[in-house]
């Protein structure tokens, strides 16, 4: 190689990798595609090796380009963590914190937490992105991804935030009209409402009682990707819903919803926070994680 890449070069290459195209990279950096292409050519000339194959319809990193991204990302994390430590010693947390979270939970519980954290650390700039499918977003765009429910195989590291059960519920008027179901199989004959999220099989509901397991395919004439809409439809008596404890605990307490099949358990949907690694996280990310966990312990607010 004729020269070495600096941190600016590595960040530039990582942005291309995360964006997936030179056009998208230009949008993120505020540059034209030709300017991005020219800068990439200059980097390749500096290093004396081709980093990206641009003849294919989709960008394909060469072995050298992939290695530089992999090792470079580790070095950038360590470098940023070092700078954060130096800034903290000079007087507080600084930098950017980007968090992705589910729509309903983010609105109700995470937004206040993040606002309070920013109030306590005024030099930290916070960006909260709410999504109905947070795991489908590019994880590298965020420092923390809040997830509720089962976590499929992932290279992200999970940090426990709060326990969260799921309950089958309906309005008192619905129960009066259709009666109280006695077993999970009864649900197949009743109007149900499903939440479509994270590309799950939303109409297949699973139950357990001791060593006995049951799965039932519910009939759904109403579906939505917004949990708050599902909850409102349930309260209005439009069908049976399967919702997280954090969302409907208050409605059960006030009687707006009635829990069905209380002797049968549905799979828990615990709240976790995901990061790209456990070690080497910036100080602001570690402090935020501790702050977030403290707001849900010893008991989460929905169990207070």
Choose from 37-46, 153-162, 247-256 the range with maximum mean pLDDT.
Answer: 247-256
If one compares 15 and 277, the residue with the highest pLDDT of the two is 15
Task: Give the global pTM.
Answer: 0.71
Rounded to an integer, what distance in angstroms lies between the CA atom of residue 133 and that of residue 68? 30
Q: What pLDDT does 8 receive?
A: 87
Output b/e per residue, 168-197; b: 16+ Cβ within 10 A. Answer: bbbbeebbeebeebeebebbeebbbbbbbb
Rounded to an integer, what distance in angstroms lies between the CA atom of residue 164 and that of residue 142? 24
Distance between start and end Cα atoms, the chain? 62
The 10 Å Cβ neighbour count of residue 12 is 18
Q: Which domains does the chain have, with CATH numbers?
A: 7-84 (1.10.10.10), 92-164+270-303 (3.40.190.10), 166-260 (3.40.190.10)
Q: What pLDDT does 2 receive?
A: 46
Average pLDDT over residues 241-262: 97
Distances, alpha carbon 228 to alpha carbons 130, 140, 223, 253, in Å: 14, 28, 12, 17
Percent of the chain predicted with pLDDT > 70: 90
Q: How many helices (H) and strands (E) does the chain have?
A: 10, 14
Q: What pLDDT does 134 receive?
A: 63
Lowest mean pLDDT across 54-58, 253-257, 265-269: 54-58
Q: In the predicted model, is pLDDT for residue 57 greater than 70?
A: no
The 10 Å Cβ neighbour count of residue 260 is 22
Confidence band, pLDDT 50/70/90 cuts, at residue 20: confident
Q: What is the pLDDT of residues 179-203, one digit of tens each?
A: 999 999 999 999 999 998 766 788 9
Q: What is the pLDDT of residues 125-140, one digit of tens each?
A: 999 999 876 665 555 6
Rounded to an integer, what distance in angstroms lies between the CA atom of residue 145 and that of residue 25? 22
95: left (phi over 0), alpha (psi -120 to 50) or beta: left
Q: In the predicted model, is pLDDT for residue 157 greater than 90?
A: no
Confidence band, pLDDT 50/70/90 cuts, at residue 110: very high
Rounded to an integer, what distance in angstroms lies between the CA atom of residue 260 and that of residue 246? 17
Average pLDDT over residues 47-70: 84
Q: What pLDDT does 123 receive?
A: 86
Q: How far is CA 153 from the centre of its chain?
A: 14
Check if the beta carbon of residue 15 is closer than 8 Å to that of residue 40: no
Rounded to an integer, what distance in angstroms lies between the CA atom of residue 204 and that of residue 201? 6
If one compares 297 and 84, the residue with the highest pLDDT of the two is 297
If one compares 77 and 222, the residue with the highest pLDDT of the two is 222
Check if the beta carbon of residue 103 is closer than 8 Å to that of residue 146: no
């Amino acid at each position: 190689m004729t020269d070495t890449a600096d941190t600016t070069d590595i960040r530039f290459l990582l942005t291309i990798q995360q964006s997936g195209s030179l056009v998208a990279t230009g949008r993120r950096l505020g540059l034209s595609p030709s300017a991005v292409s020219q800068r990439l050519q200059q980097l390749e000339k500096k290093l004396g090796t081709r980093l990206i194959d641009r003849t294919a319809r989709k960008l394909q990193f060469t072995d050298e380009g992939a290695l530089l991204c992999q090792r470079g990302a580790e070095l950038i994390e360590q470098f940023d963590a070092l700078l954060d430590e130096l800034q903290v010693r000079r007087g507080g947390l600084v930098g950017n914190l980007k968090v992705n979270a589910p729509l309903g939970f983010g609105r109700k519980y995470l937004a206040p937490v993040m606002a309070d954290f920013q109030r306590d650390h005024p030099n930290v700039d916070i960006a909260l992105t709410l999504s109905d499918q947070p795991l489908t977003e590019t994880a590298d765009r965020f420092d923390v991804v809040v997830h509720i429910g089962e976590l499929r195989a992932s290279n992200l590291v999970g940090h426990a935030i709060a326990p969260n059960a799921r309950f089958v519920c309906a309005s008192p008027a619905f129960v009066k009209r259709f009666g109280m179901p006695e077993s999970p199989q009864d649900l197949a004959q009743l109007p149900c409402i499903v939440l479509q999220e994270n590309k799950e099989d939303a109409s297949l509901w699973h139950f357990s009682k001791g060593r006995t397991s049951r799965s039932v395919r519910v009939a759904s004439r109403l579906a939505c990707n917004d949990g708050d809409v599902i909850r409102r439809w349930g309260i209005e008596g439009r069908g049976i819903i399967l919702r997280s404890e954090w969302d409907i605990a208050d409605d059960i307490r006030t009687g707006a919803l009635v829990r069905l099949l209380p002797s049968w358990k549905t799979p828990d949907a615990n709240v976790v926070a995901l990061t790209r690694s456990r070690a080497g996280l910036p100080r602001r990310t570690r402090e935020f994680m501790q702050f977030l966990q403290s707001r849900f312990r010893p008991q989460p607010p929905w169990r207070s």
